């Protein structure tokens, strides 16, 4: 439902209607709308992490970044509501959410290791990569691109620009 309607449109009332139950019946399984969104976020982070890890397997350097970026974009386009649940940083007191998030970050950092980025430089590179892809897919899913140019061509340009930026001239931290 989050993918169909958007995460912000997901309500307990709508969920109960979809499931054919009364809303109070949901409370046997979830504690609140926040609890439901937390569960969606954790599951979505796990799914995204698996997709990214699968895209990176057997690849390194620029090829791994390209594969990871394409897999990220495709997953978001297929699951926009679930993706919206992954954007917010995990609650620092929620170990399950932190683990799911850390798995995604670990995959990205592992991919970036081929560029000899470590410590703060690796964090900066991971944030830059995530921000660029997030910005593109957010504009894409929100109908923000109106010029007559193939979106995949533009996305590939973005990724190639990032790959070049991560190359030899990238700051080492």
* Residue 116 included in any domain: yes
Residue 77 CB: number of other CB atoms within 10 A? 13
Tell me, yes or no, whether 23 lies in a domain. no
pLDDT (mean) for 124-136: 95
In a domain, 118, yes or no: yes
**C-alpha of 28 from chain center:** 30
CA atoms within 13 A on the CB side of 133: 26
Is 28 within a domain? no
Question: 66: exposed, middle or buried (C-beta count within 10 Å: 0-12, 13-18, 19+)?
Answer: middle
pLDDT confidence of residue 168: 56
Q: Give the residue numbers spanning the domain of 113.
A: 40-166
Whether residue 32 is contained in a domain is answered as: no
Closest C-alpha among 6, 15, 8, 87 to residue 44: 87
On whether residue 77 sits in a domain, the answer given is yes
Q: How many domains does the chain have?
A: 1
Residue 172 lies in a domain: no
Distance CA(70)–CA(160), nearest Å, equals 12
What's 50's domain CATH number? 1.10.357.10
Residues 15-50: tens digit of each pLDDT: 888 888 888 888 888 888 888 889 999 999 999 999
CA separation for the pair 67, 50 (Å, rounded): 13
pLDDT (tens digit, 9 = 90+) per residue, 108-127? 999 999 999 888 998 999 99
Q: What percent of the chain has pLDDT over 70?
A: 97
The pLDDT of residue 172: 47
Q: Could you give the CA distance from residue 80 to residue 143 in angstroms, rounded to a whole number?
A: 13
Domain annotation covers residue 108: yes
CA terminus-to-terminus distance, the chain: 42
């Amino acid at each position: 439902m989050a993918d169909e309607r958007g995460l912000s449109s997901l309500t307990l009332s709508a969920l109960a209607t979809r499931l054919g139950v009364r809303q109070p019946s949901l409370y046997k399984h979830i504690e609140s709308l926040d609890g439901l969104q937390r569960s969606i976020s954790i599951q979505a982070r796990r799914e995204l992490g698996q997709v990214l890890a699968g895209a990176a397997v057997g690849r390194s350097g620029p090829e791994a970044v390209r594969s990871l970026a394409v897999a990220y974009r495709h997953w978001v386009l297929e699951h926009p509501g679930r993706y919206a649940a992954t954007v917010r940083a995990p609650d620092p007191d929620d170990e399950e959410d932190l683990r799911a998030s850390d798995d995604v970050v670990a995959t990205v950092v592992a991919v970036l290791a081929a560029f000899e980025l470590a410590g703060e430089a690796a964090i900066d590179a991971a944030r830059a990569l995530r921000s660029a892809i997030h910005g593109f897919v957010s504009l894409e899913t929100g109908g923000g691109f109106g010029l007559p140019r193939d979106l995949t061509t533009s996305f590939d340009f973005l990724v190639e620009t990032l790959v070049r930026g991560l190359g030899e001239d990238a700051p080492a931290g």
